[in-house]
Structure 1
């Protein structure tokens, strides 16, 4: 309850701060929507030249993209740790974090939240809704529960990977970061993995499992029975990666040497 209380207090302060600069917040939201629109247009352009992509139709790809936007939006809102190395390690802000009586990772997450990213959930739901109508999909009452579990699994996969990358900074205080590269690799999870060669498919499934953020869980709702095993494994994969990430973070904190020279 203590951590929940702290979370909502930080959220309230964040909203007060952001609402002081409403124009900036609106511009950021519009920018995110435009970025998502560009990706959707890319899919439409590709299918303007072909009817199928390795057996997947345009509307199925659009549905996968819409599903991907939901966990990605939650990740972007609460795991904004792109510059962890430079800000907290190189500039020494980790010293401030470690003087407070709450877990260091939790503190960084709540002080770097960007709640406007949650608008991506609405966009994703609209995109999925459109694709569902076109595909004439049928849903059952328990699909809502599975949807929440699979979305959380996707969030934890994304968060786990990037927390582990951030944790490397405890051993290396160099300014360079592989975060942007990993972000670009994560975009491959928006598309069916069977359009890639076997090596990339293996990497996106078991090494950097971004496929569990988009195509695998979305395949269940598309009634692709051959992918059900991967789809139901999504929450498990999420728990595995977020657990490994927290363990690595806790070990890394013990190796932190401070900002002194």
Structure 2
């Protein structure tokens, strides 16, 4: 209850500050929407020249892209750690965080959250729904439950990977770290992994498992039975990688010596 109350208090204060400048808040949502539509247009342009890519149709890849957007939207809302090194390590705000009774990672998440990113989940649902209609997918009674489970697992994978990467800041004084590079790799996960070579498939499945936030969970709803083993692995991968990220973070906090002078 303490953490729920803390979350609600932070959310109210965040919304008050954002609504002070309503047009800026709206512009952020619109720009996010435009960025996602541009990526969708790219897929449509590619399929102007072909009907299948490695056995995947246009509407299947659109469905995967829509699914991919949803866990990313929740991650961006609650694990927005892009500027962690500059803000908390270089500028020394981590010292302030460590003097408070709540868990330090939870505090950083609250101070960095961006609820407007949830608009991306709405876009993803719209794109998925369009593709599902085109594919004439049938919805079973258990599909909504699987959807929630797989989306939650994808959020944990994102959270674990980027928490671990942010924690590198405890050992380095680099301003940006490697997050931009990981972001570029992450975008490969919105396409079927079998269109890539073996090394990239290995990377996206077991090292930086972004295939588990896009193509693998989508395979369940697309009835791609050859990928069902990966579908069932998705919750386990989410739990493992989030635990790894949290472990690296805690090690980093113990290593942290303060901002100094």
TM-score normalised according to structure 2 size:
0.98
Unpaired runs of 5+ residues, structure 2, are none
* Match in the other structure for 2:89: 89
Q: Following superposition of structure 1 onto structure 2, how do residues 204-219 of structure 1 map, counting pairs within 5 Å? A: 204-219=204-219
The residue that corresponds to 2:225 in the other structure is 225
Deviating above 6 A after TM superposition, structure 1's stretches of 4 or more consecutive aligned residues are none
TM-score w.r.t. length of structure 1: 0.98
SS in 1 for 2:82: coil
Q: Deviations over 1:151-195 (max 9, x none)?
A: 011111111111101111111122241111100100000000000
Deviations 1:17-65 (A, max 9, x none): 1111110011000000000000000000000000000000000000000
CA contact under 8 A between 2:154 and 2:234: conserved in structure 1? yes
The answer for the alignment partner of 1:248 in structure 2 is 248
Query: How far off its partner does 1:255 sit?
Result: 0.6
Q: Give the gaps of 5 or more residues in structure 1.
A: none
CA RMSD for the aligned pairs? 0.8
Say whether residues 1:161 and 2:161 are aligned partners.
Answer: yes
CA offset digits 1:48-93 (Å, max 9, x no partner): 0000000000000000000001001001111110111111111111
Indicate the residue corresponding to 1:175 in structure 2: 175
Q: Which residue number in structure 2 is paired with residue 59 of structure 1?
A: 59
What are the Cα deviations for residues 109-137 of structure 1, in whole angstroms up to 9, with x where unaligned?
01111000001111111100000000000
Q: Counterpart of 1:141?
A: 141
Question: Hey, what's the Cα distance between the residues in 2 that align with 1:32 and 1:206?
Answer: 29
Partner of residue 237, structure 1:
237
Cα deviation for residue 16 of structure 1 reads 1.4
Task: Tell me how far apart the structure 2 counterparts of residues 183 and 52 of structure 1 sit (CA, whole Å).
Answer: 27
Partner of residue 13, structure 1: 13
Partners of 1:176 and 1:11 lie apart in 2 by 26
Partner of 1:38: 38
* Distance in structure 2 (CA, Å) of the matches to 1:160 and 1:6: 22
1-structure distance, mates of 2:250, 2:3: 18
Distance 1:12 1:147 in 2: 29
Deviations 1:184-209 (A, max 9, x none): 10000000000000110011000000
- 1:203 equivalent in alignment to 2:203: yes
Cα distance in 2 for residues equivalent to 1:169 and 1:6: 26
| Residue number in structure 2 paired with 1:70 | 70
227-236 or 59-68, larger mean C-alpha shift: 227-236
